[in-house]
Chain A
Amino acid sequence: MTEILIKNGFVVDPLNKIDCQKMDIAIKNGRIVEKVNEREAKIIDASGLTVMAGGVDLHSHIAGSEVNLGRMLRPDDHVKDAVRKTALTRAGTGYSIPSTYVTGYRYSKMGYTTVMNPSMAAMKAKHAHEELNDIPLIDKASFTLLGDWWFALENIAKGDLVECARHIAWMIRATRSYAIKIVNPGGLESWGFGRNVHSIDDKVPNFDLTPRDIITGLAKVNTMLNMPHTIHLHTNNLGVPGNYKTAIETMQALESVYTGDKPIGHITHIQFCSFAGDNWAHFKSGAAEIANYLNAHNHMTIDIGQVTFADTTTMTADGPFEFSLYELGGHNKWVNSDVETESSGGIIPFHFKKKNAVNAIQWSIGLELSLMVKDPWKVAMTTDHPNGGPFYHYPRVFAWLYSRKAREATLKKCNKKAQRKSLLPTLDREYTLYELAIITRAGTAKMLGLKNKGHIGIGAEADVAIYNINPNTTDIAQDYKPVRKAFSNAIYTIKDGEIVVKDKELVTIRPGRTMWLDVQTKEPCRIDDELKRKFKEYWTIEFDNYPVTDHYIKVPEKITIQASV
C-alpha cells in the first residue's frame, strides 16, 4: 500500500479536539499513522484546504427491497438524470433514488466514506446485501426492522427480555445487520389489517402490549446486547400534526432505561415528528419543545431528516404513514409493501415545494431543531435520503446551517404563511466548520459506536476528505456559495488509504466493506424443533434458507460483540 502524506491542510477533527489547525496527516496501510517516510510517500499539498475525516452518514436509504421498488416505480425520475458510462465508472441513473453505482460515486465525490442503510426487512436482507455489494467506494451497514417482529412482540409481552435478546442476537447475525431499527412500533403490525396505533399507549391488536412496551423493551435488550449503536427509532404518529407530543412521550418513556453513561435511544428524522398544531390548516413547528427537552436531557440523540425542496420519493417501512400521506392527495402513485411477521413499507413520489405552507414549515422545522439543540454531539445531519431530499443535496443543508444569509435567502422565497410562522429569523446561531464536522462525521461515528471512523487521529481508518475551503481567508457565513460548492465535490477523497477522488474526479473504483455484528450471547438462541416449527408457522421460507450466508457479502467486516446476557 502506498503511503500518503497530506501536508499543511487545516485539519478539523472534533473527536481529537482539533479545530482548523494547520498540520500534516500521514497514512500508511489504510490507517492514520504518526509519520511516514516523506521521500517515499505520496505528498498531497493541502495548503489552503480543509482536511476532515470521511463523512459518516447514519441514515440514508440506499439499498434494499423498498429502495429498489422505489427505483422501479419512477422512470420519470431517472430520465431527468442519466449518468454515462466512462472507462472507469458504470452507467446509471439518478435522480431521487440513484442506481447503486451512482450512489457510491456521488457519496464518494462528496467526501463521504461510510453510510448506514437504516431500514432492512429481515426477510429481504439478502436483497439488501446484494445491492450493497454493488455500491462501491463506501463502507456500509444495515439496520434490521425489528420493532414489529412477532418473536420480539411475543417475548416482550411475556416479559422475557433475555429470551428476546437471544432471538434478536440471532436475527442480527442472520441478517448481517448492525443495529435494531424500530419503525412505528405496533403500528406496522396493526397495519396488517389496515389499522394503526395513535399513541404510545394504544394497545397493539392481537398482541398484549403497547408501543411503549416495545420501545422500552427493545432499548433494554439493546443495552443487554452491548450494541454499539442505540435503538434507532422512527416514532409513532410520524407525519401527523401535533405529533411532537408523541416524540416527547417516547423520549420520556426511555428516561427509565437510562443509566447515565451514554445515550440509549436515537430518534431518526425527527423533523417529521416535530409537528405542532391540531390539523394541517393550523400546522406549525414543534421544534422549540423538542429542542428544550433535548437540551435538558442526555439520554437521546437525533438526526434531522431535513427537507431540501426537491421532487423526491418518500419511502419508509411506515406503511400507514405513507397511506395517509397518499390520502392527502396530489400524487398518483402509491406503493404499499407489507412483509410477513416483520414489517411493512410504503412509497410515494413527493415534491416538496417552497410555495407550499406545510412543506416550507417542515423545511424550517429541520433547521430550527439543528440550531436550537445546543449540543451538536446530539444531532446528526441527514435528509433521510430520499425522503427529505436526495443525499447529494447535503451541501445545501450545510449552507443553511453555517450561514444565516443562506437561510434568509431561501426563507424569502418560501410561502408567506410559513415565513410568518418560522422561528428562523430569531435564530442567530451559525454552525462553525468544527460543529459541521461533528454533525456529519465525528458525532455520527460516535453515535454509531464506530471507534475508527469519524476522526483522523492516530490509528483511525484512513478515510479522509479534503475540501477547497480556506478557513483563514473565508468567512463561510458570508461567502456561503463557494463553500457549499466546495462541500458538494471534495478535492480529494481517500478511502482506506487509497485515493479515490483526485481533483474532484473519481480515479479509483474499489468495493467498500459491509459491516455486521456477531453478537454473542452467553447462552445462544436455542435452535430446537420448537423454534423451527414456529418458524415454519410464521414465515413462508424454511429455517435453513432464511439467514444471509457469506456468499451475499463481498467484503465483510465482522464485528464481534460480547453481550451481557
Chain B
Amino acid sequence: MITITPKRKFDVPIQAACINVDIFTGKTLEDIKKLAITEGKENLTLNDAFNITEDKTVETPNITLIGDFSKVKRIGQGMKTGEIIINGNAGMHTGEKLAGGKIVVNGNSDGWTGSEMKKGLIEIHGDAGDYTASPFRGTDTGGMKGGIIIVDGNVGSNVGCYLRGGTIKIKGSAGRFLGHHMSDGTIYIEKNCASRAGTFMTGGKIIINGTIELVMPTFTIDSIKPKVKVDATLNAPGPFYVFLGDIAEHGTGKIFALKTTNPALSTYEKYL
C-alpha cells in the first residue's frame, strides 16, 4: 500500500492523473516519487507536493490518500484495476474513465467524478459535485457505460447525463437535469429530486423515493407499479407513478416517483 499525504495546502489546482494503481504497479517507491504532476503551469514530481510512504505488509487498498485532495484533479483517471481510498475530499475528474477497480472517497468529491466511466465501483461517503457520471462537453455518445457509483450524500446538477449503462445510487437528494439524455442504466435517489429530471431521455430508468419537484411536460403517465427493481440486490417498494418519456425525443425512458411522497402527482391519475 502506498500512502500519500499533501506536504502543504494547495492554492492552485494540481493535475495528478498518475495517482493510479495501474501506473504505480511494478514501480519502486523512488520511481513513484518521480512521477510527473503539474501545479498550475509548474511541472513537479509527486514528491514535490506529497509525502509518499509504502507499507509492504498491506495489499489492499493499493493507494491511500490522506488529507485534503479537493484541489487535486484526475485521481485514478482511466484506472483498470486496484483500489484507491481517499480519506478526505477529492478534486474534479476523480475516477474519470474508470475501467475497473474501486475508488472510495471518505469525504466529498467535486465535479465530473466517474465521468465516462466504463466499469468498476466508486463510493463517495459525502456529497458529489455537478456532472458526476456525466461525459465531457459535447460528447453525446460518451456517457457512463457501466459500473456502479454510490453517493451517501447529495449530488449536484447534471448528474448521469448521457448515461448508457451502469447504476448510480444516491442516498441524498439530486439537483436539476438528473439523467439528462440518458439512454440506458439506472439512477436511484432515496431523497428528493429537483425539477427537469430525465429530460431528453430515450431509455433507462430514474427511481425517486422522495419528492420530485416537477415532472416535465414532456413526460406522460404510464401506470402505477407496486415496486421496481433497482439492481440485483435491491427492489424498491412502491407504489410508484411511472412516467414515460421524453416524448419529444420519442423516448421510452421511465421515471418512477413514489406515490406516498408525491401527492401533487395525483392529478395525473385521471389519465390512467
- Answer yes or no: do A and B interact: yes
Decide if A499 is an interface residue (CB 8 Å cutoff).
no
Stretch at the interface among B1-9, B46-54, B133-141: B133-141
Question: Is A333 within 8 A of B140, CB to CB?
Answer: yes
CA distance in complex: A79, B142 (Å)? 12
Asked if A76 CB lies within 8 Å of chain B CBs, one says yes
Task: Identify which of A73, A75, A332 contacts B136 (C-beta below 8 A).
Answer: A75
A74 CA / B139 CA spacing, docked (Å): 8
Would you give the shortest CB distance from B74 to chain A, in whole angstroms? 13
Q: How many Å lie between the Cα of A74 and that of B141 in the bound state? A: 12
Whole-angstrom distance between the Cβ of B91 and the nearest chain A Cβ: 19
CA distance A381 to B93 in the complex (A): 43
- Within 8 Å CB of B136, what residues of A? 75-76, 79
Q: Which residues of B contact A76 (CB under 8 A)?
A: 135-140, 142
A75 and B137 within 8 A (CB): yes
Query: Could you say which of B135, B137, B138 has the most chain A C-beta atoms within 10 Å of its C-beta?
Result: B138
B251 to chain A, nearest CB (A): 13
Chain A's nearest CB lies how many Å from the CB of B257? 27
Task: Give bound CA distance, A73 to B138, whole Å.
Answer: 7
Q: Shortest CB–CB separation between residue B248 and chain A, in angstroms? A: 14
In chain A, positions 226-276 with a C-beta closer than 8 Å to chain B are: none
Among A74, A76, A79, max chain B CB count under 10 A is at A76
Residues in B whose Cβ lies below 8 Å from that of A74:
138
Residues in A neighbouring B142, C-beta threshold 8 A? 76
- Flag B177-210 by CB within 8 Å of A: 1 or 0 each: 0000000000000000000000000000000000
User: With the chains together, A332 CA to B249 CA distance in Å?
Assistant: 11
B70 to A: closest C-beta gap in Å: 24
Number of residues in B with C-beta < 8 Å to the partner? 8
- Residues 125-177 (chain B) with a chain A CB within 8 angstroms: 135-142
CA distance A310 to B137 in the complex (A): 20
Q: How large is the interface on A (under 10, 10 to 19, 20 to 34, 35 or more residues)?
A: under 10
Q: Mark A44-80, 1 if CB is under 8 A from B, else 0.
A: 0000000000000000000000000000011110010
Q: Return B92 CB to nearest CB of chain A, in Å.
A: 15
What are the interface flags for A185-208 relative to B under an 8 Å C-beta threshold, 1 for contact and 0 otherwise? 000000000000000000000000
Contacts of B138 in A (CB 8 A): 73-76, 333
**A73–B137 CA distance with the chains assembled, in angstroms:** 10
Nearest A residue to B135, CB-CB: A76
Asked if residues B140 and A332 are in contact (CB atoms below 8 Å), the reply is yes
Shortest CB distance B13–A (Å): 18
Contact with B along A320-339 (1 / 0, CB 8 A): 00000000000011000000
Q: How far is the CB of B202 from the nearest CB of chain A, in Å?
A: 11
Question: Chain B: which residue is nearest A73 at the CB level?
Answer: B138
Residues of chain B with a CB closer than 8 A to A75's CB: 136-139
Name A72's closest neighbour in chain B (CB-CB). Answer: B138
B137 contact set on A, CB distance < 8 A:
75-76
CB of A466, distance to nearest CB on chain B (Å): 36
Q: Which residue of A lies closest to B142 (CB)?
A: A76
A64 CB, min distance to chain B CBs, angstroms: 21
Chain B residue contacts of A73, Cβ below 8 A: 138
Give the CA-CA distance A76 to B139 in the complex, in Å.
5
Docked complex Cα distance between A122 and B58 (Å)? 69
Per the 8 Å Cβ criterion, residues 27-85 of B in contact with A are: none
Within residues 206 to 259 of chain B, which ones have a CB less than 8 A from any CB in chain A?
none
Q: Complex Cα distance A333/B139, Å?
A: 10
Interface string of B107-139 (1 = CB under 8 A from A): 000000000000000000000000000011111
Interface positions, chain A 61-118, Cβ under 8 Å from B, are: 73-76, 79
Q: Given the complex of chains A and B, what is the CA–CA distance between A73 and B140 in angstroms? A: 12
Chain B residue with Cβ nearest A79: B136
The residues of B that contact A79 with a CB separation of less than 8 Å are 136, 139
Question: Which residue of chain B lies nearest to A77 when distances are taken between CB atoms in the complex?
Answer: B138
Question: Across the two chains, which residue of chain A brings its CB closest to B181?
Answer: A332
Q: How far is the CA of A345 from the CA of B197 in the complex (A)?
A: 34
Interface centre among B137, B141, B142 (most CB of A within 10 A): B141
Whole-angstrom CA separation of A79 from B97 in the bound complex: 13
Minimum distance in angstroms from A72 CB to a CB of chain B: 9
How far apart sit A74 and B138, CA to CA, in the bound complex (Å)? 6
Task: Give, as a whole number of angstroms, the nearest-CB distance from A416 to chain B.
Answer: 25
- Complex Cα distance, B139 from A391, in Å, reads 23
A542 → chain B closest CB, angstroms:
36
**What is the CA–CA distance of A308 and B89 in the complex, to the nearest angstrom?**
46
Give the residues in chain A near B140, CB-CB below 8 Å. Answer: 76, 332-333
Assembled-state Cα–Cα distance A75/B139 (Å): 8
Instruction: Give the shortest distance, in Å, between B9 (CB) and chain A (any CB).
Output: 30
Residues from chain A with a CB closer than 8 A to the CB of B141 are 332
Instruction: Give chain B nearest CB distance to A84 CB in angstroms.
Output: 12
Least Cβ–Cβ distance between A352 and chain B, in angstroms: 15
Closest to A331 in B: B140
- Give min CB distance, B73 to chain A, whole Å: 15
Q: How far is the CA of A298 from the CA of B250 in the complex (A)?
A: 51
User: How far apart are A306's CB and chain B's nearest CB, in angstroms?
Assistant: 25
With the chains together, A248 CA to B136 CA distance in Å? 45
A310 to chain B, nearest CB (A): 15
> What is the minimal beta-carbon distance from A336 to any residue of chain B, in angstroms?
18
Closest chain-B Cβ to A86's Cβ sits at a distance in Å of 15
CA–CA, A448 to B146, complex, Å? 53
Name which residue of chain B comes closest to A349, CB basis.
Answer: B140
A379 and B137 CA atoms in complex are apart in Å by 40
Considering only CB atoms, which chain B residue lies closest to A351 in the complex?
B141
Closest Cβ of chain A to B188, distance in Å, is 26
How many Å lie between the Cα of A333 and that of B138 in the bound state? Answer: 9
- Closest-CB distance, B195 to chain A (whole angstroms): 23
Could you say which residues of chain A place their CB within 8 Å of the CB of B139? Answer: 75-76, 79
CB of A112, distance to nearest CB on chain B (Å): 29
The minimal Cβ–Cβ distance linking A75 to chain B, given in whole angstroms, is 4
CB-contacts of A302-359 with B (<8 A)? 332-333
Min CB gap A79→B, angstroms: 6
Which residues from chain B contact A333 at a C-beta distance below 8 Å? 138, 140
| Residue on B nearest A311 in the bound complex, by CB | B141
Determine the residue in chain A with the shortest Cβ distance to B200: A332
CA distance A76 to B141 in the complex (A): 10
**Chain B residues, CB < 8 A from A332:** 140-141
- Tell me the minimal C-beta distance from A78 to chain B in angstroms: 9
Contact with B along A497-517 (1 / 0, CB 8 A): 000000000000000000000
Closest residue of chain B to A330 (Cβ to Cβ) is: B141
Can you list 15 A-B pairs, Cβ within 8 angstroms, ordered by A?
A73-B138, A74-B138, A75-B136, A75-B137, A75-B139, A76-B136, A76-B137, A76-B138, A76-B139, A79-B136, A79-B139, A332-B140, A332-B141, A333-B138, A333-B140
* 6 shortest interchain CB distances as A-B pairs: A76-B139, A332-B140, A75-B138, A76-B138, A75-B137, A79-B136
With A75-B138, A76-B135 given, name 4 new contacts (CB 8 A): A75-B137, A76-B137, A76-B140, A332-B141
